[in-house]
Amino acid sequence: SVHLEPDQSVRVPDGWRHVERVDGSEDVILTFALKQQRVDKLKNLVDQVSDPRSQQYGHYLSLAELSDLVGPSEETLGTVRNWLEKHGIWDCLTVLTGDFLQCRTQARNAEKLLPGAQFHRYVKGDLSVVRSGTPYSVSPQVAPHIDFVGGLHRFPSHRKVLNSTAAAG
């Protein structure tokens, strides 16, 4: 099998506490970032539409035109769907650009689909997340068709404003 994100940190960030291994029957949602087409063309197009010196400046795409440009190939869609269905995963949603697939399945199914993954629950204050503490992999047949699988490693993070807690009188 192939590791799509060998350099992704699996360290649990400060403040998060491990609670339990997730029961195999619990649902998880996996996000598959499907390989897009013509990304180089998209880059050239953005360079043109964003450069005030270009004749194409401001000639933006509609979402439908963007979908036609970068949407995944039939081969990618077919290979990934076959792979998911072989593992009994049918409950999937896509987006208008067709390049993300979000699928709901049981944790035990997800662990079979993504060898190496093991789902655990972590909490921080009122927040609770399910993540894998170990790296996942995918079969070599689908690896060329997926950029990464979301919902396994990255913990929620955001910038916090810096402030004094004092309130005005």
- In the bound complex, what is the minimum distance in angstroms from residue 75's beta carbon to another protein? 19
Dihedral of CA 61/50/38/103: which sign?
negative
**Residue 4, CB-side half-sphere exposure with 13 Å CA sphere:** 24
- In the bound complex, what is the minimum distance in angstroms from residue 22's beta carbon to another protein? 9
- In the bound complex, what is the minimum distance in angstroms from residue 83's beta carbon to another protein? 18
Nearer to another protein, 49 or 92 (CB): 49
Quick check: 28 and 130 in contact, CB under 8 A? yes
Cα→Cα distances 160→16, 157, 163, 164, 166, Å? 16, 9, 9, 12, 17
Contact flags string 9-38 toward another protein, x per CB under 8 A: x-x---------------xxxxx-x--x--
Which 78-137 residues touch another protein, going by CB under 8 A? 95-97, 99-100, 102, 119, 121, 126-131
